[in-house]
Amino acid sequence: MSTGRLIIDLDAVVANWRALDAMTDCKTGAVVKADGYGLGAANVAKALFKAGVRQFFIAVAEEAIPIRAELGPKPEISVFSGHMAGDTDLIRELGLTPMINSVEQLTHHLETLPGHPFGIQLDTGMNRLGMEMQEWAAVAELALAQKPRLVMSHLACSDEPDHPMNPYQLAQFRKMTDGIQVPRSLGATGGILLGPDYHFDLTRPGIGLYGGLPFAQAAPVIEVDLPVIQIRDVAEGEVVGYGNTWQAPRQSRIATVSGGYADGIMRILSDKATLYHGSTPCPLVGRVSMDLLTIDITDLTETPKKLSLIGPHQTIDDVAQDARTIGYEVLTQLGTRYQRKTFGK
């Protein structure tokens, strides 16, 4: 194969869910938006459903289609974007639970799908999605009379345990919801790690399921291997790649491997990333191009057939640090050209 190989370990996803679930005394759902963080929502949801997950969260209604096709009507699928114009038929046909974000969405939902399940999303300070305190106060009596499935909010800084925004949002959430007879949810992965005060009735882990921070104890879920297409000797002083940005400081061996920004290997990693042959690091030299990387393998004692970008010696968050981003982006940017090998449940 001339394309990279993406190995996905569903048993690790399940192990991470079980580890996070064990940290709480409440129900634990799972976030499978963005095609299961790029790893295949249907396969991820199937594995988690077998492990006991009965509530999944997605970003937009269309993301439910492959999950329903795989799992049928049993699990609840909640939609963070709520009830958008044009979503009514899909919400009805797939039995989705929109998380209502505004007075307008609530009105639209009650008018177009009376009696259909819904949840409520509240804004406790993130200023992204959800009803603010004044909006909620104006419609809370009406909304609660319809018996929503869940009332939730989302933490802005849960990956920073000592950030003052965490207790502030917790206090706001309690102020807006204490006393209601509806299940509540505040914590995703970071919220679970903040402790019981943030757990309420349901947690919604996302990135922690897929091996990313802030769940530092997560089992790694993916490996990315890139095949070597060609190896050449480069004399001292010769240049490599677009723009002549790297000049060999010595006689060097350069491996050209299949992978580039079309495969989610971000261009900002030019002259920064490291690939591995076994436990030996091999630096990326020159620019990341659309389809190819050039890797300095001068110090290897054998000729590699492939090099590893993500694996036992380098996590998604290690790559993210080099790219000045987060593990979420590394995962969700993985392209469609990889030969995918999925193992586990």
The strand pairing partners of 57, in sequence order, are: 31, 78
Q: Edge to edge, what strands does the sheet with 55-58 contain? A: 30-31, 55-58, 76-79, 97-100, 119-121, 151-152, 184-185
Distance between CA 314 and CA 316 in Å, rounded?
7
Q: Active site includes 328?
A: no
Q: Active site includes 198?
A: no
- 3-state secondary structure at position 62: helix
CA-nearest of 166, 162, 138 to 153 is 166
Q: What is the DSSP letter of 262?
A: G
CA distances from 160 to 166, 168, 194, 223 (A): 8, 13, 9, 27
What residues contact residue 148 under an 8 Å CB cut-off, 6+ apart?
100, 117, 118, 119, 120, 182
- Residue of 27, 33, 37, 210 marked active site: 33
- Residue of 50, 147, 175, 242 marked active site: 242
User: For residues 13 and 37, is the Cβ–Cβ distance under 8 A?
Assistant: no
Catalytic residues: 33, 242
